[in-house]
Amino acid sequence: MNTPVRRRFVVASLAAALVAATATACGSSSSDGSSDSTAAGGTYTIWDPYPQFDGTSDWVKLLDSCGSQAGVKVKRTSFDTTDLTNKTLLAAQQGNSPDVLIVDNPVVSTLAEAGILTTTQENGIDTSQAEPNLLAAGQSGGKTYGTPIGANTLALYYNKDILKAAGVDPASVKDWASLNAALAKVKAAGKKGITFSAIGTEEGSFQFLPWFWGSGAQLTDLGSDKAVAAVSLWKDWLTKGYAPNSVINNTQTTSWQEFATGQYAFAENGTWQLANAKKAGFGYGTIPVPAATAGTAPAPTGGEFVTVPVQKDSGRYAVSDKIVSCLTDAKNLMTTDTTLSYVGPTRQVQDQQAAATPELKVWVQAVQAAKGRTSDDLGTKYPKISEQMWRAVQAALTGSKSPKDAMSAAQSSVSQ
C-alpha cells in the first residue's frame, strides 16, 4: 500500500488520465448531494454516479437497507460520472475518501495504481461469482480492486420494416461478410444502412472496439493487419454509402437520433437505449455485433465497480465490506441491475434476467462476450492507446490517411 505522501503525489499526477478514461456507456446528469465525506460514529459514506435516483428510489432504499444490516447509517452522495472522478481524486489528496465508492469500471485500475483503493483480498470480499470477463476490468497487477455491480455494452439494433422490405433476415447476419451483404440489399432497396458514433473522443473508441476486437486485433498492436481491417470496414461503409458521413461527428446520442428517424436499417448502440427503442414508433430487434469471421464480437463493458477506498482508520473496513457484500449479494443484484438498467455481473442473475425479459437475451449474450477496456492488464496505458486509436479512425474516415497509415502512426505514437 502506498504511503499517504506518495499517494497524494500519484493522485495529482494521474488526474488527467482518469478524466480521459471515464466515458461512454453510462451517463448521468448533475449531483444531488453534498461533497462532505466525513464519516463519524455510526455513519458510513457512499458515493455513487446515479444522481437520477432520489431518496424514494429502489436504489437508495437498498443502500439504506445494507447500512442497517451492517448496523450503521448510510450517508449517500451522488455525482455525475466525471464529477465523481474529480471528487474522488480531491478526497484522496485530502485523506477524506468515502467508505464505499461506486465508480465507472475504466477508472478502477487508475485509482488502484494511485493507491486510492484497497484490494478485495485485503477486505475478504467474495468475487467468486462475478463473471471473469467483467471482473477483469477491476484487476491490475494481479490484484482485484472491487467487484462489478452490473454491466452494459453494445449490440446492433435493427429496423424490422426496412430489413423485411430489403429481403434481409436479421438472423443471417453472423459475420462481416453477411452484414455487408445485408447493407448492400438495404441500399439497393433505397434505404439507409447503418449509423454509429465515430466521434474523436473516448466515445468513438468505445463504439469502434467491437469491430477492432472482433477482427482479432489487440490493443497492444494498433498497427496489425487485423486492426487495419477493422478501420477499413468502417471506411468502406462510408465510401459505399452504407453509413453517413455524419458518423464522424456523431455521439452515441446523435447516432441514436438518426436511427430513431426510421430511415436506417441498423444502429450500433447500447442497453441504455432500450426505453427509447420502445418509443421509436417502428418495430425493432437486436443482434450481437458480429465478429469478422463468425460469432459475437467482444464489445467493451460499461458499468460500475463497488470499491472500498483506503481509510486512515483501518477499523472502518469491516463495516464497509459488509455494505459491499450486501450490495452485490445474489438476492439484491436482480433488483439492483433492473433499477440501473444493467445486465447482472453473475451468470445466475443473467439467467434470471433473460428468463424474466426475453428481449434481454441478446444483451446477456453480448455482456458474456464483452471485455473491459483496461483488461489484459493495460490499466493506465489504456487512455493513451484509446486516444491514438480514435485519432487514427478519424484520419481514415475523413480520408486524410489510409487505414494502414493511420493505424501504423497510432502504434508509433503509443510506443513512444
Which is nearest to 378 in space by CA: 149, 139, 115? 139
Across the range 7-16, mean pLDDT stands at 41
Which is nearest to 195 in space by CA: 186, 58, 150, 68? 186
Q: Is 86 exposed, middle or buried (0-12, 13-18, 19+ CB in 10 A)?
A: middle
CA-only gyration radius of the chain, Å: 22
What digits encode the pLDDT tens for the residues 310-361? Answer: 999 999 999 999 999 999 998 899 888 888 889 999 999 999 999 998 889 9
Q: Do the domains 154-299+379-415 and 4-151+303-363 match in fold?
A: yes
pLDDT of residue 307 exceeding 90, the answer is: yes
Q: Which of 84-88, 158-162, 395-399 has the lowest mean pLDDT?
A: 84-88
Neighbouring C-beta atoms of residue 253, cutoff 10 Å: 14
| Band of pLDDT at residue 389, cut at 50, 70 and 90 | very high
**Through-space distance between the first and last CA atoms of the chain, rounded to whole angstroms:** 29
Provide the residue ranges of all domains of the chain, joining segments of one domain with +: 4-151+303-363, 154-299+379-415
Which is nearest to 165 in space by CA: 263, 261, 257, 256? 263
| Band of pLDDT at residue 15, cut at 50, 70 and 90 | very low
- Please report the pLDDT score of residue 410 as a whole number: 98
Q: Which of 161-165, 314-318, 374-378 has the lowest mean pLDDT?
A: 374-378
Give the distance from CA 300 to its chain's centroid: 6
Neighbouring C-beta atoms of residue 248, cutoff 10 Å: 17
C-alpha cell of 196?
454509429
What digits encode the pLDDT tens for the residues 223-262? Answer: 999 999 999 999 999 999 999 999 999 999 999 999 999 9
Protein fold of 4-151+303-363: D-Maltodextrin-Binding Protein; domain 2 (3.40.190)
What digits encode the pLDDT tens for the residues 109-148? Answer: 889 988 999 999 998 899 999 999 999 999 988 999 999 9
Identify the residue with better confidence: 6 or 219: 219
Q: Check: CB of residue 130 under 8 Å from CB of residue 333.
A: no
C-alpha cell of 43?
455513519
- Please report the pLDDT score of residue 25 as a whole number: 59
Residues 6+ apart with CB under 8 A from 321: 123, 124, 125, 308
C-alpha cell of 314?
483501518
What digits encode the pLDDT tens for the residues 38-73? Answer: 344 499 999 999 998 999 999 999 999 999 999 999
Q: CA–CA separation, 263 vs 162, rounded Å?
A: 8
Residues 6+ apart with CB under 8 A from 286: 155, 156, 157, 158, 359, 362, 363
C-alpha cell of 278?
420502445
Q: CA–CA separation, 277 vs 245, rounded Å?
A: 23
Q: CA–CA separation, 141 vs 149, rounded Å?
A: 21
C-alpha cell of 61?
432504499
pTM: 0.84
Which is nearest to 136 in space by CA: 145, 149, 125? 145
- Please report the pLDDT score of residue 31 as a whole number: 36
Q: Check: CB of residue 299 under 8 Å from CB of residue 369.
A: yes
Q: What is the CATH number of domain 154-299+379-415?
A: 3.40.190.10
Residue with cell 492507446: 385
What digits encode the pLDDT tens for the residues 94-106? Answer: 999 999 999 999 9
Q: CA–CA separation, 143 vs 280, rounded Å?
A: 44
Identify the residue with better confidence: 114 or 31: 114
